[in-house]
Amino acid sequence: MRPESCRSFLCRTLALGLLLAPAALPLKAQTAPVINLISGINAGTVVAGTSAGTVTLNSSGNRTVTLGTSLEQTAPVAVGSFTVTGTHKHGYSLANTTGSFSLIKSGATSLSANPVILSSSSGTFPGNSGTGTTPTITLGVTISLGPNPTAGTYTGSFTLTATDTTNTYNKTDTQVFNVTVVVEQAIGITSSVGLDFGDVFRGTVAGTVQLTAAGVRSFTGGTNGPTSCSLHVGTAAAFTVTGAASAGYSIGLPSSISLTGPGTAMIVDTFTSSPGPTGTLSSLGSQALTVGATLRVNANQADGDYNGTFTVTVTYN
């Protein structure tokens, strides 16, 4: 009886061993995704406006603006970039896990920013075995600026998360991307002295009064054309331009305007400026600007005061 019991026990043991053997096979190795940082985001330099606006950096490194914001074109710009490495043929997804974030400058109101994944936000790791690395993926950003923000460099960061969507454990990796933008002071212009052609004597034929940006008058026309009166010889218009230190700017002058008064309207044209047609702000961010023009006086112009307005525009180069 004992040998039969032993045989039965051995058979049961062997059967149990065969049943458990498959559980001892090694599992296939799996690699958690890894975000490989190449570069952070540099949104370049923007010029603040008197009203709120936005600047968006897209995948090709181009920027667009809305409302009160404008662009300074010479400063460097860079999109964010990275690759992701993970188990071949596994799916992955990318997500901004920070959401909106702030760009900060000491002593200034912070700016709000939102990152944008500009290439694919999901896909499959390439390769037939081991690990695979995605092509370069790029990041952009949209930055909101309030009216008249403080000039200077603003910085911030956000976190990007990569998730293996095939692995049942949802293995993830995170990477912090830095974001930088430089805000320049909005360029502005204020008037201190109006354009004044002074006293002019009418003639029996038409003539002109030329007033240079330096305030020097000269006359054309017949012998009875306009001549100066020593009591009031006129002045060039004077302005002050303010903005970013040492910045270059362009000056826009009108083609012509009309002066109205007791008689036929007179045309003012051939506007000139000093400096012009461009200027450069000082290291303190200002420059004096003067404007002259030519007044066209009609023959037998009626006596009296004549007035009009004109606009000078300044724009960063």
Q: Per-residue pLDDT for 225 more than 70?
A: no
Q: What is residue 49's predicted lDDT score, i.e. its pLDDT? A: 76
Cα 237 versus chain centre, distance: 33
CA 245/CA 168 separation, integer angstroms: 57
Tell me the per-residue pLDDT of 49-96, one tens digit each, with 9 for 90 and over: 778 888 999 877 888 888 666 676 667 899 999 999 999 999 999 999
Q: What is the pLDDT of residue 230?
A: 53
Which of 295, 211, 312, 213 has the alpha carbon at shortest distance from 253? 312
Angle made by CA atoms 275, 280, 282, in degrees to the nearest 5? 115
The residues of the chain that CATH labels 2.60.40 are 26-184
Token pair of 153 as six digits: 């460099």
Mean pLDDT for 126-131 is: 90
Nearest of 112, 293, 295 to residue 212 by alpha carbon: 293
Prior bond of 126 cis (ω within 30°) = no
Helix (H, G, I), strand (E, B) or coil at 9: helix
Q: Is residue 16 pLDDT above 60, yes or no?
A: no
Report the distance separating Cα 304 and Cα 306, nearest Å. Answer: 7
Per-residue pLDDT band at 8 (split at 50, 70, 90): very low
The pLDDT score that the predictor gives to residue 68 is: 65
DSSP 189: E
26-184: what fold? Answer: Immunoglobulin-like (2.60.40)
Find the mean pLDDT for residues 190-205. Answer: 90
Q: How many residues does the chain have?
A: 317
* pTM as predicted: 0.64
Mean of all residue pLDDT scores within the chain: 85
